[in-house]
Amino acid sequence: MKRSEIDGKYKWNLGDIYESNEVWEADFKKLQEIMPTLGDLKDGLTKSAGSLADALTRLDEASLLCERLFVYARMNRDEDNANSLYQGMTDRAMSLYVAVSGEASFVAPTLLKEKSSTLEGFLKDEPRLADYAFMIRNLIRRKKHVLGESEEKILSMSADFASGARDIFTMLNNVDMKFGTISKDGEDVQLTHAKYIELMQDKDRDVRKDTYDTFYKTFEQNINTIATTYSTSVKKDVYYAKVRGYDNALGKALFADNVPTALYDKLIDVVHDSLPIMHDYVDVRKKILGLDEIAMYDVYTPLVEDTDDKYSYEQAIDMCIEALAPMGDEYIALLNRAKDEGWIDVFESEGKTSGAYSWGPYGTHPYVLLNHREDLNSVYTVAHELGHALHSYYSEENQPYPTAGYTIFVAEVASTVNEILLTMHLLGTTDGNLKKYVLNHYLDQFRTTVLRQTMFAEFEKIAHAMCESGEPLTQQTLSQKYGELNKLYYGDVMQTGDTISLEWARIPHFYNAFYVYKYATGFSAAVMIATGIYQGKEGVLEAYKEFLKSGGSDYPLGLLKKAGVDFIDGDPVGNCMQVFGEVLGEFKKVMGV
């Protein structure tokens, strides 16, 4: 549809950010005038506690103005990416954001020059610095890994090529490599990344096998180049860790979230202990598909046919509201506000940004972009994005600007809690094919989000440890290690073969090292929280609400502990794997396996 053909009740109201483009232009001009004065704050930044509070307040005012300008322009552009007016406004806002960031870049280096005792004294003496206490103490924590001014300048000059390996892989993977064609229903089909995923779910096993073999043949033809590229990325990680005085690359990557490396190791160990459940799942998949032997190209095809049921947007919202009733009246009231007050942009239209997201500047309500398609996955998307939206709402309502933003480590918890509550609701209120389908969907979430991401995390740890001990990272050594992990995780039932040993070569996440483990920890936390809420366990909902309200006021593990999820002394991953086993048992029962 054209956007003009869509009823206004299905469109978000960006007027809640700016009443008009003219008001946006006025704020843009205001920020342009403010920007040159920000650098003047440097000299007096640490003169006194009061001057520090004054400076940080002014810098935050500029930052928030930047945020509002950019979000408004970009979200208007997302309505129709061909709109030249908002293309230009987005570019202008981004350029101004970069300029403001440059003017304010003195803050951390200047504070780090001060003695820790001086900064702590400022916090004690000036009540207005309370909102910045977490940020300042986090800087103090980082101090031991900050080098001298000249060394930091030299390191900063490496930024232009530090992302070189990732950029090279991105171009090779997304532009230069061509994946060939396969035959389906008598026609040639051009393989792409998106088409590969689609065809790996095909009912025809010959199509899946042909897709699998053809796709990986391209990676095999480029494997030495990719191995060299990835090796360079790992060496970069190791180099920066050494230069900054970390024990290893893993320690450096986890430092920002204040996560001990023992948690990473514990995740891997607990998943290893639970692998018999995964192996049972593989065996169940083989039996349901009626195969004598199961191969890696049989992992993605659905075990249960999707229903033909259609879910209008109104039905999807109503299903989510019903499923999320255990969250309490206040939460449901906010969902109704989101539906009725222009928070959500619902339908696909010409030029609209694809996919879905939740976003919005501090000081306004959150927004949600959808492209609703009336299938069950779209219902899950509504639940997911509203989880993000209400997390942001609670955070911004209860936190000042400096601590309202939360990190990636916890970002997916609220959205996944909503998805799991929807799953539990459907499992408790449906039967027949729909129940089987939902169980299949839930099992695949455990497999892909916990088991698979943990395997990726273990591969990253092995590759970096090899580099740190001086072992070469060649296509042979990397493929050997990856093949061994696949054998371990999928078990003897699965025919792994040599082809899957190349899979590491196609995973872009590996160029952002030690990131994927957060998917596994986030899902594990969500399972524990959602189960407690659904079962009505005493104190769970109240604790979870405190987590939602806490924003980024603490490190991730501290925030999750507020929600009753203790990754240090507890066992949320083990609990998650136990639920995986229970869901698998229920699935076997309804499928008669």
Report the pLDDT value the prediction gives residue 497, as an integer from 0 to 100: 80
Percent of the chain residues past pLDDT 70, beyond the cut: 100
Report the pLDDT value the prediction gives residue 365, as an integer from 0 to 100: 97
**pTM, entire model:** 0.95
Reported as a pLDDT band with limits 50, 70 and 90, residue 490 is very high
- Quote the CA–CA distance of 14 and 345 in Å, as a whole number: 10
- Quote the CA–CA distance of 349 and 354 in Å, as a whole number: 9
Report the pLDDT value the prediction gives residue 100, as an integer from 0 to 100: 93
- H/E stretch holding 170: helix 164-171
Report the pLDDT value the prediction gives residue 1, as an integer from 0 to 100: 87
Between CA 329 and CA 333, with CA 330 as vertex, the angle to 5 degrees is: 85
Residue 134 structure tokens: 């977490």
Cα distances (angstroms) measured from residue 328 to each of 50, 321, 406: 43, 10, 23
- H/E stretch holding 189: strand 187-190
- Domain residue spans in the chain? 3-146, 178-221
Residue 105 structure tokens: 């870049």
- Quote the CA–CA distance of 147 and 155 in Å, as a whole number: 9
Report the pLDDT value the prediction gives residue 308, as an integer from 0 to 100: 80
115-118 contacts, C-beta under 8 A, 24 or more apart:
116/140, 116/143, 118/46
Q: Say yes or no to pLDDT of 230 above 80.
A: yes
Report the pLDDT value the prediction gives residue 306, as an integer from 0 to 100: 74
- H/E stretch holding 184: strand 181-184
DSSP per position, 356-386: -EEE--TTS--EEE----SSHHHHHHHHHHH
DSSP-based three-state secondary structure for 279: helix
Q: Which residue has the tokens 């940004």?
A: 353
pLDDT per residue as tens digits for the range 287-328: 999 999 999 999 999 999 877 889 999 999 999 999 999 999
Q: Which residue has the tokens 């532009």?
A: 175
- Quote the CA–CA distance of 50 and 129 in Å, as a whole number: 9
State mean pLDDT over 479-504: 94
Backbone phi and psi for residue 344, each to the nearest 5 degrees, phi listed first: -120, 135
- Quote the CA–CA distance of 149 and 569 in Å, as a whole number: 40
Contact (Cβ atoms closer than 8 angstroms) between residue 513 and residue 252: no
Q: Say yes or no to pLDDT of 102 above 80.
A: yes
DSSP class of residue 309?
Answer: -
What value does the mean pLDDT of the chain take? 95
pLDDT per residue as tens digits for the range 533-553: 999 999 999 999 999 999 999
> Backbone dihedral region of 374: left (phi > 0), alpha (psi from -120 to 50 degrees) or beta?
left
Instruction: Tell me the residue type at 234.
Output: V
Contact (Cβ atoms closer than 8 angstroms) between residue 468 and residue 248: yes
Burial class (CB in 10 A: 0-12, 13-18, 19+), 56: buried
pLDDT per residue as tens digits for the range 444-483: 999 999 999 999 999 999 999 999 999 999 999 999 999 9
- Quote the CA–CA distance of 78 and 116 in Å, as a whole number: 45
pLDDT per residue as tens digits for the range 106-116: 999 899 999 99
Q: Say yes or no to pLDDT of 50 above 90.
A: yes
Cα distances (angstroms) measured from residue 114 to each of 257, 544, 567: 23, 38, 34
Instruction: Report domain 178-221's class.
Output: mainly alpha
Contacts of 383 (CB under 8 A, 6+ apart): 320, 323, 324, 415, 418, 419, 421, 422
Residue 432 structure tokens: 């027949």
Instruction: Give the orientation angle of helix 275-289 with respect to helix 475-490, to 10 degrees.
Output: 80
Contact (Cβ atoms closer than 8 angstroms) between residue 547 and residue 563: yes
DSSP class of residue 555?
Answer: -
State mean pLDDT over 479-491: 97
Contacts of 183 (CB under 8 A, 6+ apart): 189, 210
pLDDT per residue as tens digits for the range 142-184: 999 988 878 888 888 887 788 999 999 999 999 999 999 999 9
Report the pLDDT value the prediction gives residue 507, as an integer from 0 to 100: 96
385 is catalytic: yes
Report the pLDDT value the prediction gives residue 152, as an integer from 0 to 100: 83
Q: Say yes or no to pLDDT of 216 above 90.
A: yes
Cα distances (angstroms) measured from residue 293 to each of 40, 75, 496: 70, 49, 11
* Helices and strands, number each (H, E), in the chain: 27, 7
Reported as a pLDDT band with limits 50, 70 and 90, residue 559 is very high
Backbone phi and psi for residue 294, each to the nearest 5 degrees, phi listed first: -110, 140
Report the pLDDT value the prediction gives residue 447, as an integer from 0 to 100: 97
Burial class (CB in 10 A: 0-12, 13-18, 19+), 339: buried
In three state form, how does the secondary structure of 123-162 look? Answer: HHHCHHHHHHHHHHHHHHHHHHHCCCHHHHHHHHCCHHHH
Closest CA to 455 of 502, 479, 489: 489
- Quote the CA–CA distance of 400 and 138 in Å, as a whole number: 17
Catalytic residue selected from 67, 385, 412, 419: 385
- Quote the CA–CA distance of 460 and 165 in Å, as a whole number: 15
Closest CA to 253 of 402, 460, 547, 468: 460
Closest CA to 316 of 373, 367, 359, 355: 373
How does strand 181-184 pair with strand 357-359?
unpaired
Q: Say yes or no to pLDDT of 281 above 80.
A: yes
Report the pLDDT value the prediction gives residue 301, as an integer from 0 to 100: 92
- Quote the CA–CA distance of 442 and 118 in Å, as a whole number: 52
Considering the domain delimited by 3-146, tell me its CATH architecture. Answer: Up-down Bundle (1.20)
Closest CA to 409 of 494, 268, 523: 523
Contact (Cβ atoms closer than 8 angstroms) between residue 368 and residue 357: yes
DSSP-based three-state secondary structure for 227: helix
Report the pLDDT value the prediction gives residue 155, as an integer from 0 to 100: 86
Closest CA to 173 of 112, 130, 231, 222: 222
pLDDT per residue as tens digits for the range 350-371: 999 999 999 999 999 999 999 9
